[in-house]
Amino acid sequence: MPQIVNFGLFVTASILLIVTPGPDMMYVIARGVGQGRRAGLLSALGVCTGLLFHVFAAALGLSALLRTSLVAYSIVKYVGAAYLVYLGIRTLLDRGEQANAETRPALGSGRIFLQGVLSNVLNPKVALFFLAFLPQFAPATGASTFVPMLVLGFTFTGMGIVWLTGLACLSGSVGQWLTTNRRVRRAMQAISGIALVGLGVRIALARRS
């Protein structure tokens, strides 16, 4: 077991951070309510795969580039924001083009999963969060911090998977129950699309801290 500082404190802090509402949570809930449990679960797994990308980036020191380069940070931020807005607009347009859910072709699992991955990878604040958070519990001196940071990152991601998949199941069940009515189905699709657009706008307008 690599040296980790205050692992119990890390777990406690991670739980509090994971259950705090944020873009990832809202994204998964929007997908689950708007497109069903399957889409919610795949989105949750995609988001957590994106977290692993940030974990490796932080462990390798690549996230420091976003911290020191305003241009790199801005590019990633606006690309990610534009992508979420795009997904939201597509959701709203799909709602208008195909009112009957039974005749609507389901999105492929790979596509839904990839959208979840990109929604997280293209959020530079997640990269900066891991770069700031993980080193607080890794050894400051001595051996390399690469392995300890991976262990911390995998622990955080594992707890995130449990939380987000639970939310996906709950939101998917609620969405399926609500969508038995055509008007409610259209309303939930609209809410899902607006939520995705709102997340994109929130990321675009967020100030770098």
Is 20 part of any domain?
no
- pLDDT of the residue at 98: 45
Look at the chain and report how many structural domains it folds into: 1
Q: Which residue's entry shows tokens 């706008």? A: 201
Residue 42: which domain range? Answer: 25-98+106-205
Per-residue pLDDT reduced to its tens digit, 172-206: 887 666 655 667 667 767 777 787 788 788 878 87
Is 14 part of any domain?
no
Is 55 part of any domain?
yes
Per-residue pLDDT reduced to its tens digit, 19-34: 877 888 888 988 888 7
Is 90 part of any domain?
yes
Q: Is 170 exposed, middle or buried (0-12, 13-18, 19+ CB in 10 A)?
A: middle
Cβ contacts of 73-79, under 8 Å, gap ≥ 24: 73/124, 73/208, 76/122, 76/123, 76/124, 76/127, 77/123, 77/124, 77/125, 77/203, 77/204, 77/206, 78/204, 79/122
